[in-house]
Amino acid sequence: MMGIVKRFLPFFATFAIGVLVASFFVSVGFSRFEGRGWRHRKGNHHKSMHRENERLRRENLELRQQLEQLRMEVPPVENTMPMESVPAPRIILRGRGTVR
């Protein structure tokens, strides 16, 4: 009997000290859910997120269709301006007095 107490006393003491230290940082009490109300809010949140995702999917599809329609309506732009050759820059060599 004494051997069991000697073995389990350090375990229980360490556990009690650990719970005491943990209680400074987190609540060690039982969670108090509000029963059906908590589940109801969770379900409503899930439904509202689902509705928002569906709305965003529809909006995304509409925007893609609009973009595709604009791409078909706008003709490709052709470069009608002739390319002119640009003269080379003038280089002045110092000391020789010549200009190239």
pLDDT band at 94 (very low <50, low <70, confident <90, very high): confident
Q: What is the CA radius of gyration of the chain?
A: 39
Per-residue pLDDT reduced to its tens digit, 58-77: 999 999 999 999 888 887 77
* 87 part of a folded domain: no
What are the residues whose beta carbons fall under 8 Å from the beta carbon of 99, sequence distance 6 or more?
90, 91, 92, 93
pTM of the model: 0.39
pLDDT value, residue 18: 92
Does 57 fall in a domain?
A: yes
Asked whether residue 81 is domain-assigned, the answer is no
What domain range is 44 assigned to?
A: 2-26+33-72
**62 and 54 Cβ atoms separated by less than 8 Å:** no
The number of folded domains in the chain is 1
100 lies in a domain? no
Asked if the model's pLDDT at residue 95 lies above 80, the reply is: no
- Can you give the pLDDT at residue 72? 87
In tens, the pLDDT along 19-36 reads 889 888 887 676 665 556
